[in-house]
Structure 1
Amino acid sequence: MTTTTVRIGTAVSIPLSRRALGVGAVLAVLLLVAGLLTLTLGSLGIPILSLPAQVIAPTGSEGFVLTRLRGPRLVTAIGTGAALGIAGALFQTVTRNPLGSPDVIGLGVGASAGAAASALVWPGVVPVPVGALVGATVAMLVVWAGTGRGFSSPSRVIIVGIGVSAMGVAVTNLLIARAGREEATVLAAYINGTLASRSWDDAAIIWASLLVIVPSAMLLGRRLSLIEMGDEIADSLGANASTTRAVSIVVAVAAAAAAVSVAGPVAFIALIAPQVAKRLTRVGGANVAISAITGALLIVAADLAVQNSPFEVQLPVGVLTGAIGGLYLGFLLVREFKKGTI
């Protein structure tokens, strides 16, 4: 496969295949189309011919829709999908398992429990994003300790993660049961994963997080490619598998927690995006950039669907991604069982 090496100074070199570059370009165009449809479809849609003028100088009702309703929602969706795609790519690479996803091993549920606790138990004391990060970190520490072997055994990580998820759901449901009706309604939408009523503050949080997460994940690229070949080979080539795995998990936790803090646990984007990216590019390694674009496209397309659904009540985007992702997870479980890997 023909590759091109992109060098950043003397310390960083990034090999890129021409196929991956082509796939990335196509996905970016599809993301642009989905974004335009998000802004222009529906009763509140902005006419596409008016859109350039509104972007430059928002005015009137169309400007309100762009700057207060759909604009921040779209920008938040793109950032959230990118963060989840990166988190899933890192998890699946370091565990060498297609089931290695924040959804499967309890990170999203842990972040939801932390966010619920900060919103209902310590309102105004602990910010929701901080609560989500703490909850995600605690969940991962429990998984790491519960396996007895850290993250080195993918099958144990998945089994313990299922148990952690169950505990996180129990904690979240307990908090909802004790909350007031209005608080419970808002929190229920959040823990299902929603992009409704997002603001520019939410967009700023996720994109500020990506400014740190994306370079960190890209710098891990070469080491992650070596880890895919086995820890012994990675160590012999200077990748230091244990350290790389630990750093990758930290970056993945930060990415998933950032996404959950602004949109709740949007289900299965982190599971599906990296696998779609790998199948399209046919390239080994984490495929961080393509996974990020794929995750953004998936969540924007899903949000477009729920915004234009025929239901009287607009569903949280996580309900749609959860339904589709659940079917895909079932397919993966059957395939891995037949392979004898689980």
Structure 2
Amino acid sequence: MLRAGDWLSLPVRRRSVAVVAATLLAVLVVAGLTLTLGRLGVALPDVVAALRGRPLTGTDEIVLGTLRGPRLLVALGAGAALGVAGTLFQTVTRNPLGSPDVIGLSAGASAGAAAFGLLWTGILPVPLGALLGALAAMGLVFVGTGRGFSSPGRMLLVGIGVSAMAFAFVQFALARAGREQATTLAAYLSGSLASRSWDHVSVIAMSLAVFLPCALALTRRLQLVEMGDLQADALGARSALTRVLAVLVAIGLATAAVSVVGPVLFIALTAPQIAKRLTHAPGPGIVASALTGALLLALADLLTQQSPLPVQLPVGVLTAVLGGVYLGFLLLSHWKKGTVT
């Protein structure tokens, strides 16, 4: 058991530690390949020297400081945020399909970005518009369930409806926009890591610094909530409050990710399930899910950068394809178990 004062208590298992260490190593390997492969790749010794504080010069400064460095850090940060948001939603809904993609949050954030990026430009920054859209979507889900967030099944169904309405609004906004605006926002809505800057790195880093400790602090209570509301309440977890807090933290993390990379689909859906299958640990595996999400998004971006295609695809296109395959596998496995009718 890992403790930090009275507010943080985390169970530590050997298998989980081994999985986290292996995933972290894989993240470092992918990061190294991202910076060194390709025509603009930087030699590994130069990357190591830069990490040790050696000033960058010439092409290395442009590649590491402007092109690939910020892009890699945004991919890792956004992937980690989506992984944690996904595991929080899946724990709250007690459903492996529960994620910002399915529950309506990503669609709401996209609608908010479209509203303030196309229709009401200049009123609010696009990231703040994405936050308002996500909050509005979750507000509709909260009201639509009729029981707050205490009915996981109904929460998923209402979330799917909210997603449909939000995506319809996005299409309306794109139809009303000018060609240049629509092209820019369409690239953002497909989920893209192109042209990421240190400003984007700052946004996702600050969001993780605020919300990740909150997610870790909720770990123990969420483990009890997974057992059922009656048992959790009997053990002092206050299931209703825990759910609301977990959803708020997930909203913050998912919105931060969407604001810097757009609605990258299926990372939040797949990362928690992969982490859980590897660790075999009960409850939300916050650290494992964060590292798995970071690995998946960074790996997807590496594949798109090194793709032989004449045009570089947005990373969201690749994650959507791979995530769709995984979703089919997940549904098939549950159908075989008799849990899907």
Shorter-chain-normalised TM-score: which range?
Answer: over 0.9
The Cα of 1:341 is off from its aligned counterpart by 5.1
Is the CA contact (8 Å cut-off) linking 2:92 and 2:152 kept in structure 1?
no
SS in 1 for 2:99: coil
- Percent sequence identity is 57
Match in the other structure for 2:323: 325
The Cα of 1:47 is off from its aligned counterpart by 1.6
Alignment of 1:130-149 (within 5 A): 130-149=128-147
Match in the other structure for 1:298: 296
Match in the other structure for 1:118: 116
Amino acid paired to 1:171: F
Unpaired segments ≥5 residues, structure 2: none
The Cα of 1:119 is off from its aligned counterpart by 1.1
Pick from 176, 179, 183 the counterpart of residue 177 of structure 2: 179
Unpaired segments ≥5 residues, structure 1: none
- TM-score, normalization by structure 2: 0.96
Amino acid paired to 1:17: R
Deviations 1:37-90 (A, max 9, x none): 011111111121222234431110111110000000001111000000000000
Distance 2:140 2:5 in 1: 39
Pick from 175, 199, 221 the counterpart of residue 197 of structure 2: 199
SS in 1 for 2:44: coil
Pick from 37, 62, 65 the counterpart of residue 41 of structure 1: 37
The Cα of 1:156 is off from its aligned counterpart by 1.8
Distance 2:278 2:2 in 1: 21
Is the CA contact (8 Å cut-off) linking 2:93 and 2:153 kept in structure 1?
no
Amino acid paired to 2:260: V
Is the CA contact (8 Å cut-off) linking 1:54 and 1:63 kept in structure 2?
no
Amino acid paired to 1:214: L
**Is 1:340 aligned to residue 339 of structure 2?**
yes
Match in the other structure for 2:19: 23
SS in 2 for 1:49: helix
**Is 1:248 aligned to residue 253 of structure 2?**
no
- What's the RMSD between the two structures over aligned residues? 1.3
Distance 2:234 2:49 in 1: 57
**Is 1:73 aligned to residue 71 of structure 2?**
yes
Distance 1:250 1:11 in 2: 18
Match in the other structure for 2:56: 58
Amino acid paired to 2:137: A
Deviations 1:9-52 (A, max 9, x none): 24432211111111101100100000010111111111212222
SS in 1 for 2:108: helix
Distance 2:220 2:162 in 1: 31
| Deviates further, 135-144 or 73-82 | 135-144
Distance 1:240 1:202 in 2: 36
What is the aligned residue count? 338
**Is 1:87 aligned to residue 100 of structure 2?**
no
Match in the other structure for 1:109: 107
